[in-house]
Structure 1
């Protein structure tokens, strides 16, 4: 059993300099000056980017996610986000089994972070 946090895994997957803005409940914090419609659009674009990054790692990711639209209810967006987090965690588990993840922490507690190349 390993512990995984989706955010650090996504940062590594995207080779991003900081956390990705992909939590539906934080749209107002991410994009304060945008309308609700534009916030959703930006969130959906981020989710699409994440799907595209995960697809080479786990074939069929997009088909495994709930179907949503820009007019979906908040509960549907949360279900999508939760499923995306679960897929990210599964991907990190795969990476750990393949020797492509490393623990950060100590012998008592650590989170696992994927690496794109195998760990020597």
Structure 2
């Protein structure tokens, strides 16, 4: 388990929510889990919840597409009317791509490990990402 520095071979622990917050320079955790839409938007009807979920997914996919060439093409949203199991399958694919992106960030040097000598999670840092992209 890699806890302080990158080495090959190695194993990293990734937390998708903090990675997404940094990817999108968001102020808080993104509401992107399909099974929690009622918690995210309790006053909305099911169709509006799904609309909001799809909006969040589109935004995440667009950001990932800026980081990983071809990601936007690979992450095609399911049809709006798709059953819950298809939404969950898309969500799982999205999670996998987020984890792969964090792995890329590790080798680009845009992550920071949070933990100690025995365990750590690796989270991209928006400031490091911005400097790599040439943004202020």
- Same fold per TM (> 0.5)? yes
| Residues in 1 aligned to 2:24 and 2:104: alpha-carbon distance in whole angstroms | 17
> Are 1:104 and 2:114 matched, yes or no?
yes
Q: Helix, strand or coil: the match of 2:43? A: coil
TM-score, length-scaled by structure 1:
0.94
Report if the CA contact (8 A) 1:100-1:114 is conserved. Answer: yes
In 2, Cα distance between equivalents of 1:9 and 1:35: 29
1:17 and 1:66 mapped to 2: Cα distance?
A: 26
Stretch moving more, 44-53 or 61-70: 61-70
Partner of residue 113, structure 1: 123
Is 1:64 matched up with 2:74? Answer: yes
In 1, are the aligned partners of 2:111 and 2:124 still within 8 Å (CA)?
yes
Q: What does the per-residue CA deviation read over 1:26-70, in whole Å, with 9 as the maximum and x for residues that have no partner?
A: 000000010100000000000000011111110111222254111
2:4 counterpart residue number: none
Aligned to 1:54: 64
Q: Which runs of 5 or more structure 2 residues have no equivalent in the other structure?
A: 1-10
Computing the radius of gyration from Cα coordinates, the structure with the larger value is 2
Deviation by residue 1:90-115 (Cα, 9 ceiling, x = unmatched): 00000001111110111111110012
Could you list the runs of 4 or more consecutive aligned residues of structure 1 that deviate by over 3 angstroms after TM superposition? none
Aligned residue for 2:3?
none
CA distance in 1, matches of 2:38, 2:76: 23
